[in-house]
Amino acid sequence: MKHIVIIGGGYAGMAATTRLARRVKGRDDVRLTLVNPQTRFTERLRLHEAASGRQLADLQIPEMLAGTDVEFVQGWVTGIDADARTVRLDDERTIGYDTLVYALGSVADSQDVPGVDEFAYTLDSSHNAGLLARQLDRLGSGPVVVAGGGLTGIESAAEIAGRHPGLDVVLLSRQAPGSAMGPKARARLHAGLDRLGVRIRAGVDVVKVMPDGVALADGEVVAARAVLWVTGVRVSPVAAAAGLCVDERGRIVTDASLRSVSHPNVYVVGDAAAIRQPYGVMHGTCQSGIPTGLHAAANIVRELKAKQPKRFRFGYIHQPVSLGRRDGVIQFTHPDDSPTRFYLAGRWAVAYKETVSASPWTTYRLLKVLPWLGAATWRRGGSFTR
């Protein structure tokens, strides 16, 4: 009996799990186990909506895996013994594995700036997003700071401003929001934020979060009745503690087939992986995470058949951002994520973004019945990726 254990039930982990479940269904020599802290599937692509007060679908992982032979184990992974090939959970249980799929993902980087853990909200979970939503409902008016000008920060600021027009939403960022987009798409993005009343403060660095605001590097204090922290992410220290080869950010370094370079029986997917492509190391998004999960599953199936795993190849196709419920901008990109001259805006962008953001659950259902849906479909992005 070969035991394959997937730790982490986010987008990449669920992609690997559902594809593996279909490809090994009916085999009595393979056992699949998925470990995740919660039974609820976290739609991280929609947490900015939850933070503004919108109710998200209650997707339960055991229900999503219904009809498969996957064993679901609820628990926090606290350690890995790479030599003994075991995973340790927070209740001291241990789970042995022959092949491990490491999909623990990332969380907001709240460690480097004082006060973030105590006074700021994050979008690490549905629970955290719900805490911010309740706080915003209580406020009614006053300043709210969104720290971080990446796609998540932009979407969060727009969503909060659109749903709570009485709030003064301030978006703080080191670089201009949409700096990776082309000039026309970036101008359209800023026009959309301006229409919603979002005030942009670019070129600033937050050095401290306080109960009533944030302090900037130049000594200025920006008042805030609530602070959302969406600037930078960090990965779990579990991999480094286990002795797996990691990079300077703690991500597991992989070979061309997504296996750990130090422990080839460990496949790494999603944000936790440092995956090198011809254009550089990939950055973590759902757009790239789901394909890594699918490819790892395909390679594990190949190994079960005594075949060599295949090389992973991936190119980005877009940078999609919503601006509330009725507007958005989609910047189409070259494979290295640099912008092309093509973009969508307005209602067409909303329709595109909604189709994309709703797709992971649709994709997982397809994977349960279409075993041939594989990594080749995703190498250059695809209609289901973010």
Tell me the per-residue pLDDT of 229-266, one tens digit each, with 9 for 90 and over.
Answer: 999 889 999 999 999 999 999 999 999 999 999 999 99
Per-residue confidence (pLDDT) for residue 378, from 0 to 100 = 40
> Residue written as tokens 């599953």?
297
Per-residue confidence (pLDDT) for residue 360, from 0 to 100 = 58
266: which 2 tokens?
């460990």
Per-residue confidence (pLDDT) for residue 384, from 0 to 100 = 32
Number of residues assigned to the chain: 386
pLDDT over 70 at 172, yes or no: yes
pLDDT over 90 at 369, yes or no: no
Amino acid, single-letter form, for residue 180: A
Q: Of 312, 308, 266, 310, which Cα lies nearest the Cα of 289? A: 312
The residue with greater pLDDT, 370 or 29, is: 29
Q: Are strands 213-216 and 206-210 parallel, antiparallel or unpaired?
A: antiparallel
Q: Of 84, 83, 41, 77, which Cα lies nearest the Cα of 61? A: 41
Give the rounded distance of the alpha carbon of 75 from its chain centre: 20
Instruction: Kindly report, residue by residue over 56-106, the tens digit of the pLDDT.
Output: 888 999 999 999 999 999 999 999 999 999 999 999 999 999 999 999 999
Write the burial class of residue 247 (CB in 10 Å: 0-12 exposed, 13-18 middle, 19+ buried).
Answer: middle
DSSP 284: P
> Residue written as tokens 């109710």?
55
Spatial CB neighbours of 257, under 8 Å, sequence gap ≥ 6: 299, 309, 310, 311, 312
Per-residue confidence (pLDDT) for residue 372, from 0 to 100 = 45
Per-residue confidence (pLDDT) for residue 198, from 0 to 100 = 97
Q: Distance between CA atoms of 126 and 156, rounded to whole angstroms? A: 14
Q: Of 246, 261, 251, which Cα lies nearest the Cα of 282? A: 251
Per-residue confidence (pLDDT) for residue 354, from 0 to 100 = 85
3-state class percentages of the chain: helix first, strand second, coil last, to nearest 5: 30, 30, 40
Q: Of 225, 147, 180, 195, which Cα lies nearest the Cα of 327? A: 195
Angle in degrees, CA 104, 121, 226, rounded to 5: 165
Tell me the whole-structure pTM to 2 decimals.
0.91
CA distances from residue 239 to 63, 77, 94, 289, 338 in whole angstroms, order as listed: 29, 11, 16, 18, 31
pLDDT over 80 at 381, yes or no: no
Q: Same CATH topology for 2-37+75-105+236-316 and 116-229?
A: yes
Q: Of 339, 344, 334, which Cα lies nearest the Cα of 314? A: 334
Which 3 state secondary structure label does DSSP give 210?
Answer: strand
| Mean pLDDT value of segment 147-157 | 95
DSSP 78-117: EEEETTTTEEEETTS-EEE-SEEEE---EEE--SSSTTHH
| Mean pLDDT value of segment 303-327 | 95
Out of 254-263, 273-282, 303-312, 356-365, least confident range: 356-365
With beta carbons less than 8 A apart as the criterion, state whether 353 and 328 touch.
Answer: yes
Per-residue confidence (pLDDT) for residue 110, from 0 to 100 = 85
313: which 2 tokens?
């190849």
- Looking at CATH, the fold of the domain delimited by 116-229 is given as FAD/NAD(P)-binding domain (3.50.50)
Compute the mean pLDDT over every residue in the chain, rounded to the nearest whole number.
91
Per-residue confidence (pLDDT) for residue 26, from 0 to 100 = 87
Per-residue confidence (pLDDT) for residue 374, from 0 to 100 = 46
Q: Distance between CA atoms of 328 and 344, rounded to whole angstroms? A: 8
pLDDT over 50 at 376, yes or no: no
78: which 2 tokens?
């606290």
Domain boundaries, the chain: 2-37+75-105+236-316, 116-229
> Residue written as tokens 């999909």?
103
186: left (phi over 0), alpha (psi -120 to 50) or beta: alpha
Per-residue confidence (pLDDT) for residue 182, from 0 to 100 = 97
pLDDT over 50 at 375, yes or no: no
Residues facing 253 on adjacent strands: 274
Per-residue confidence (pLDDT) for residue 358, from 0 to 100 = 58
Per-residue confidence (pLDDT) for residue 284, from 0 to 100 = 77
pLDDT band at 357 (very low <50, low <70, confident <90, very high): low
Residues facing 101 on adjacent strands: 6, 267
pLDDT over 80 at 268, yes or no: yes
Share of the chain above pLDDT 90, in %: 83
Instruction: Kindly report, residue by residue over 118-146, the tens digit of the pLDDT.
Output: 999 999 989 999 999 999 999 989 999 99
For the domain bounded by 2-37+75-105+236-316, which CATH number is listed? 3.50.50.60
Q: For residue 88, which phi and psi values (nearest 5 degrees)? A: -105, 135
Neighbours of 146 (CB within 10 A): 32
